[in-house]
Structure formats: structure tokens, C-alpha cells
């Protein structure tokens, strides 16, 4: 039996991977921008970018600054975009359990109205699922 949680954590389950995805989602596309924003060491960043590309989370495209050689920038794939609710959920959890009362560094907003986007569990029937009394894990081993 396949454990998709284990497989997912193998792709994005370490600090730098999700920070990279977040920064690309925020509009940073170039290696030096990502290095400055995440603080990741050069070798670590290069390795994580290659892993995210291999996993289909990021893709590259060429760009050229006039007078310079062609380089590559990073963009989210559909799989990368599908991680945005995960990032919002992690941010919600951190704001609730770890925040010191300050303003969060990143807030996810709906471009249509500007309201804050939060993660929530929704059943396939359309109803909200409350983790305190309405969610169970089904084990299929």
C-alpha cells in the first residue's frame, strides 16, 4: 500500500522546500532572489530547486537580462499551485500556536475581494468538518 503522506513529505517535508514554494508563489523567480528571501545556503537552495523540479512542483523557463547570458527562472506548476492551501494551513497553525502577537510576515488574500484566505476542512458533501468532533482518519492497510 502506498502512503501518500510519506511520499509528500519526501518532496516538501523539509524547511527549505516549502519556503521556496512560498517565495515563488509570492512572485520571486530567480535564484538570487530566492536565496536572499529564504536565507538558504547556495548549495542547499540549488539542491531543493532541483528536487522540486524533479517532483513536478516547479518548472523552469529561460530569461535574459540584456547584455547577460540566458538564465533560468522558476515558476509553479499546477502541482505547486496545489500546495498553496497547505502553505495557508501551516500559516494558520503558526499564527494560532506560535505567534507572539505581531503581524504575520505573509497573509494569504483573495484577489477578488481582498479578504484573508484561511485553510479549512470541507467534506465532500459540502459541510465544514470540525477536527474536534467530526473528523476521523480511516486506515486502509
**Whole-number percent of the chain with pLDDT over 90:** 62
For the cut 90, the answer to whether the pLDDT of residue 25 exceeds it is: yes
Is pLDDT of 53 > 90?
yes
How large is the average pLDDT for residues 35-48?
97
Residue pair 19/8 in contact by the 8 Å Cβ criterion = no
Q: Kindly tell me if the per-residue pLDDT of 99 is higher than 90.
A: no
Q: Please say if the pLDDT value at position 61 is more than 70.
A: yes
pLDDT for residue 38 is more than 70: yes
- Hunting for cell 503581524 — which residue is that? 103
Amino acid at each position: 500500500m502506498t502512503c501518500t503522506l510519506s511520499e509528500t513529505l519526501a518532496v516538501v517535508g523539509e524547511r527549505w522546500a516549502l519556503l521556496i514554494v512560498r517565495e515563488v508563489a509570492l512572485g520571486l523567480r530567480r535564484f538570487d532572489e530566492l536565496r536572499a528571501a529564504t536565507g538558504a545556503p547556495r548549495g542547499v537552495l540549488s539542491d531543493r530547486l532541483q528536487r522540486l523540479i524533479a517532483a513536478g512542483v516547479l518548472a523552469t523557463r529561460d530569461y535574459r537580462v540584456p547584455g547577460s547570458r540566458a538564465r533560468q527562472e522558476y515558476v509553479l506548476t499546477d502541482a505547486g499551485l496545489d500546495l498553496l492551501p497547505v502553505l495557508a494551513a501551516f500559516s494558520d497553525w503558526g499564527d494560532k500556536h506560535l505567534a507572539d502577537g505581531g503581524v504575520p510576515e505573509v497573509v494569504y488574500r483573495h484577489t477578488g475581494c481582498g479578504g484573508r484566505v484561511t485553510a479549512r476542512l470541507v467534506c465532500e458533501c459540502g459541510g465544514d468538518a470540525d477536527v474536534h468532533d467530526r473528523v476521523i482518519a480511516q486506515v486502509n492497510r
